[in-house]
Structure 1
Amino acid sequence: MQVLLTGSSGWLGRFLAPLLRKAGHDVTGLDVASGADTDIVGSVADRALIDRVFAERGIEAVIHGAALHKPDIIRYPAQRFVDVNVTGTLNLLEAAVAAGHDRFVMTSTTSLMIDQRIRDEAGDAAIWLDESAGPLAPRNIYGVTKLAAEGLCRIHHLTHGIGCIILRTGRFFPEDDDTHQLLSGPNMKANELLHRRLTVEDAARAHLMALEQAPALGCETFILSAPTPFSRDEVRGLKQDASAVIARHFPDAASLYARQGWHLPRSIGRVYDASRAERIMGFRCETDFGSVLAALREGTDMPFAHDANYVSPQVQSLAD
């Protein structure tokens, strides 16, 4: 198929574009920043550009990964988030319907599920988050606009029948966390694979699978995160003494971490349950916390990317 990939210069795009080509698709990359997999530099908010790309490239399907993200809040006004995340999604959906498409995949975020109560993690038990969690009350303009974009996907499916798969991804960014500095970046990423992170490679694989299955699935929303080893009946223990719960599942985790100079989490306040994607779409992340421990045992590289100096192409273009 002729696939339009938005956000093609971003972290996900640079892994997803080659995967799509390997699967036999012709990829047109669209991004506001130039990149190796970007054919057209421009914004999804530009409807005339979108219509021209569809016409000239014969686009048959869309994977919509372009967005302004949470770190962009300090760089752009709220209106820009609406323009890109909401109007941009609407532009693509309307163009896809007009072209007679049967599939549309949108990268969303688990961030829109985190209201202030969940963010504060003040309760005595971890919060178990799956696709049924709600009511949703995003705490910033990023989450608000991504939730609106999800709604646009749903109404276009209901009105026009286009298959829309919404992928609420957990964390997969390569850089250090911009709010937590107590642990090293690799230590934090390893810990997060227990309950809120996946690798960019797994995120790319999920998008490819969603593209293939969208017409049959209709309109579905899936959380994407590494499979958690925990169960719902462990949420109190996770909040009060996560290390003890982890030890039940991974008896040698503490000793392996100690050799690395790392620390296991003392408390876990939320757990993303990605099991629905496995049940409905047949997708399961290949990399999980067990993969980290295997690497520590064998002395091999970590199974996830970490780059403390990573700067997104969009941010870099602002600095140039």
Structure 2
Amino acid sequence: MRVLLTGSSGWLGRFLAPRLRLAGHEVVGLDVAPGIGTDVIGSVADRAVIDRVFAEREIEAVIHSGALHKPDIVRYPTQAFVDVNVSGTLNLLEAAVAAGHDRFVFTSTTSLMISDAIRRAEGDRAVWIDEAMAPLEPRNIYGVTKLAAEHLCRLFHQERGLACMVLRTGRFFPEDDDTNTEPAGENLKANELLNRRLTVEDAAAAHLAALDRAPEIGFGTFILSAPTPFVPADAQALKADAVAVISRYFPDAPALYAKRGWVLPTSIDRVYDSRLAEHQLGFRCAQDFGTVLQSIRDGAAPPVIHEASYLSPKERRGQTEYC
């Protein structure tokens, strides 16, 4: 299948393009910045570029992972988010329908589920987050535009019959967190596999699963995160004393973490539940907190990639125009 992959030079794209090719697909990469997996330099917001790519490359399916993200809020105007995340998605959906496609995979984000109230973590229990959570009140322009793009996918399924898979990915970025500084680096990422993170390799694998299953499912919205060991009944204890809860599920975790010089989270304020993806999409992340602990037992590197100073290709090349 000839697949158009947007955001092909980005962090996900650099892992996803090779996996698509390994699965036998022909990949056409589209990005505003050059990269090893990018064939066409251009923006999803430019309809002429999209129409040309579809016509010249005979595109058969789309994985739309290109977007402006939360860190871009300080770099780009609000209109840029509307142009790229909303209008860009519309351009691709319209082109896919015109080409007679039967599948469209959209990379969304769990960030759009996090309101200001959840972000402040003022409650006395962890918030249990699954696909049924409502109402959704995104706290910034990134979340607002990604939610709008999700609604476009749903609309095109309902009105045009295009099978659309919406993947709300948890964290998989490699750089340092721009809001949480303690603990740092790999320690924080390892902790987040308990409740809100997946590896980039698992994120890529999930997109392949969605591409395969889209015609059968028709439309679906799925949270993607490493499977949590916790259950909703743990919510209050997780907020009050996360170490005690973690130790109940993983008795040797404190000692293993001490061996590596890491610290466990003392409080957890949210948990992403990814069971729907497992039950309906047939996808389960291969890496989780258990594999973190096993890596410590084995004296191996943790299953998360940490690149503290990672910067997206469009920023590295001094991009002056948005995607």
Q: TM-score under structure 2 normalisation?
A: 0.98
Q: Deviations over 1:204-254 (max 9, x none)?
A: 000001001101101100000000000000000000000000000000000
Runs of 4+ in 1 over 3 A off after TM superposition: none
Instruction: Supply the AA of the counterpart residue of 2:92.
Output: L
- In the TM superposition, residue 259 of structure 1 has moved relative to its aligned partner by 1.2
Q: Which residue of 1 aligns with 2:232?
A: 232
Aligned-partner SS, 2:5: strand
The code of the aligned residue for 1:214 comes to A
Is it true that 1:78 corresponds to 2:109 in the alignment? no
Distance in 2 separating the partners of 1:193 and 1:103: 30
Alignment of 1:129-278 (within 5 A): 129-278=129-278
Q: Deviations over 1:249-287 (max 9, x none)?
A: 000000011111111000000000000000001100000
2-structure distance, mates of 1:271, 1:310: 26
The secondary structure found in structure 2 opposite 1:216 is helix
RMSD: 0.8
Query: What is the Cα deviation at residue 309 of structure 1?
Result: 1.9
Q: Which amino acid aligns with 1:305?
A: I
CA deviation profile, 1:59-108 (whole Å, cap 9, x unmatched): 00000000000000000000000000000000000000000000000000
Q: Which residue of 2 aligns with 1:301?
A: 301
Which residue pairs with 1:30 in the alignment? 30
In structure 2, C-alpha distance between the alignment counterparts of 1:319 and 1:184, rounded to whole Å? 29
Mean Cα deviation higher: 252-261 or 59-68: 252-261
Quick one: distance in 2 between partners of 1:184 and 1:262? Answer: 9
Distance (Å, rounded) in 2 between the aligned partners of 1:83 and 1:252: 49
What displacement does 1:311 show? Answer: 1.1
Amino acid at match of 2:156: H
Letter in 1 for 2:97: V
For structure 1, the residue ranges without an aligned partner over 5 or more in a row are: none
Equivalent-residue separation in structure 1 for 2:201 and 2:157 (angstroms):
28
SS in 1 for 2:147: helix
Task: Report what 1:2 is aligned to.
Answer: 2
Number of matched residues?
320
Letter in 2 for 1:89: T
Deviation at 1:23, TM superposition (A): 0.5
| Matched residue type, 1:289 | F
Q: How far 1:182 moved relative to its partner?
A: 1.7
1:201 aligned partner, one-letter code = E
Amino acid at match of 2:49: L
What is the TM-score of this pair, normalised by structure 1? 0.99
Give the equivalent residue in structure 2 for 1:43: 43
**CA distance, structure 1, for counterparts of residue 220 and residue 318 of structure 2:** 35
The aligned counterpart of 1:96 is 96
Alignment CA distance shift 1:117-1:19 (3 Å): same
Structure 2 distance, partners of 1:71, 1:15, is 20
2-side partners of 1:55 and 1:240: how far apart? 57
Distance 1:318 1:147 in 2: 28
Question: Hey, what's the Cα distance between the residues in 2 that align with 1:6 and 1:265?
Answer: 35
Match status 1:87 vs 2:90: no
Deviations 1:6-59 (A, max 9, x none): 000000000000000001100000000000000000000000110000000000
One-letter amino acid of the structure 1 residue matched with residue 207 of structure 2: H
Q: 2-side partners of 1:182 and 1:280: how far apart? A: 36
Q: Tell me how far 1:319 sits from its aligned partner.
A: 6.5
Per the TM alignment, residue 122 of structure 1 is displaced from its structure 2 partner at its CA by 0.4
AA partner of residue 145 (structure 2): T
**Cα-to-partner distance string for 1:110-135 (whole Å, 9 max, x where unaligned):** 00000011001101100000000110
Instruction: Identify the residue that residue 64 of structure 1 maps to in structure 2.
Output: 64
How far the C-alpha of 1:145 sits from its partner, in A, is 0.2
Distance 1:201 1:13 in 2: 11
CA–CA separation in structure 2 for the residues paired with 1:26 and 1:71 = 31
Return 5+ residue gaps in structure 2 as ranges. Answer: none
Question: Matches of 1:33 and 1:257 in 2, distance apart?
Answer: 39
Percent identity (aligned): 68
- Equivalence for 1:11: 11
Change (3 A) 1:140 1:304: same
Structure 1 CA distance, aligned partners of 2:159 and 2:277? Answer: 24
Structure 1 residue 198, shift from structure 2 partner: 0.2
Q: Are 2:286 and 1:283 equivalent residues in the alignment?
A: no
